[in-house]
């Protein structure tokens, strides 16, 4: 059965950015100039009247799996990864506020001096006031990732879509960096993503989106202006959704 490639009408979205996007051209950490460019795109989206939630990964600083591979206890390494996501969230908050966008960071690991805890009703208030809410520390538990955090917050905040901004322009049937014949899907079902183990997000994140009927829009955030194009239904992207 075919599915439509149309961008769903959106009023509120969750934008997930992997930590690696914040590196820009660098090999590690945060490229503040590039974060400023990303913030300008987020501002432009917010200025269209869209309600925006953000989730940012931590892979540009620390990944739990990498720590575990070097002999650390996995849970301990995952907590370090969660702290990395808070650092990225604060960097994005600074960049947005420099542009005059009001933001609040809510962390799933409580850090009173630094940011708010995750409180859904408070996040609702922030969005109603036009603030961008940045959710940090994923789901707040080890053995998860910020993809799952993004799916969870998208469900909790009743977002119309989860936009996954990455370094590739969609979902392919093979790794486009390794296989030149790899084809990009316009749309693909959650079940195919899970069944064929396509690289979109973790299985738990995809399943949560499927169960809550949240379309996942995968697009390249590295190209300037792409967020606006995707939101306008004019971008190159893959939409992961249920069967029509």
Which residues are at the interface with ligand UDP (CB under 6 A)? 18-20, 57-59, 63-65, 78, 81-82, 84-85, 138-139, 141-142, 144-149
Q: Which residue lies nearer to ligand UDP by CB, 85 or 106?
A: 85
Q: Which residue lies nearer to ligand UDP by CB, 102 or 175?
A: 175
* Closest distance of CB 11 from ligand UDP, Å: 25
* Closest distance of CB 74 from ligand UDP, Å: 8
* Closest distance of CB 62 from ligand UDP, Å: 6
Q: Which residue lies nearer to ligand UDP by CB, 57 or 170?
A: 57
* Closest distance of CB 240 from ligand UDP, Å: 17
Q: How many CB atoms lie within 10 A of CB 215?
A: 22
Q: Which residue lies nearer to ligand UDP by CB, 142 or 215?
A: 142
Find the residue with minimal CB distance to ligand UDP: 57
* Closest distance of CB 105 from ligand UDP, Å: 15
Q: Measure the CA–CA gap between 100 and 218, rounded to whole angstroms.
A: 28
Q: Which residue lies nearer to ligand UDP by CB, 58 or 170?
A: 58
């Amino acid at each position: 059965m075919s599915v439509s490639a149309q961008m769903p009408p959106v009023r509120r979205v969750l934008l997930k950015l992997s930590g690696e996007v914040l590196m820009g051209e660098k090999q590690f950490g945060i490229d503040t100039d590039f974060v400023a460019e990303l913030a300008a795109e987020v501002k432009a989206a917010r200025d269209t009247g869209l309600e925006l939630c953000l989730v940012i990964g931590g892979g540009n600083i620390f990944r739990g799996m990498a720590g575990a591979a070097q002999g650390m206890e996995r849970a301990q390494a995952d907590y370090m990864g969660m702290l990395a996501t808070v650092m990225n969230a604060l960097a994005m908050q600074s960049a947005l506020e420099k542009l005059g966008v009001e933001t609040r960071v809510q962390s799933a690991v409580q850090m009173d001096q630094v940011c708010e805890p995750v409180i859904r009703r408070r996040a609702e208030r922030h969005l109603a006031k036009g603030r961008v809410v940045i959710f940090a520390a994923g789901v707040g538990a080890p053995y998860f990732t910020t993809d799952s955090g993004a799916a969870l917050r998208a469900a909790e905040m009743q977002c119309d879509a989860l936009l996954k901004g990455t370094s590739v322009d969609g979902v392919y049937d093979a790794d486009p960096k390794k296989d030149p014949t790899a084809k990009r899907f316009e749309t693909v079902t959650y079940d195919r993503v899970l069944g064929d183990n396509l690289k979109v997000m973790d299985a738990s994140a995809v399943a949560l989106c499927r169960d809550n009927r949240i379309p996942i829009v995968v697009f390249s955030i590295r190209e300037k202006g792409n967020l606006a194009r995707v939101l306008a239904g004019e971008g190159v992207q893959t939409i992961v959704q249920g069967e029509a």
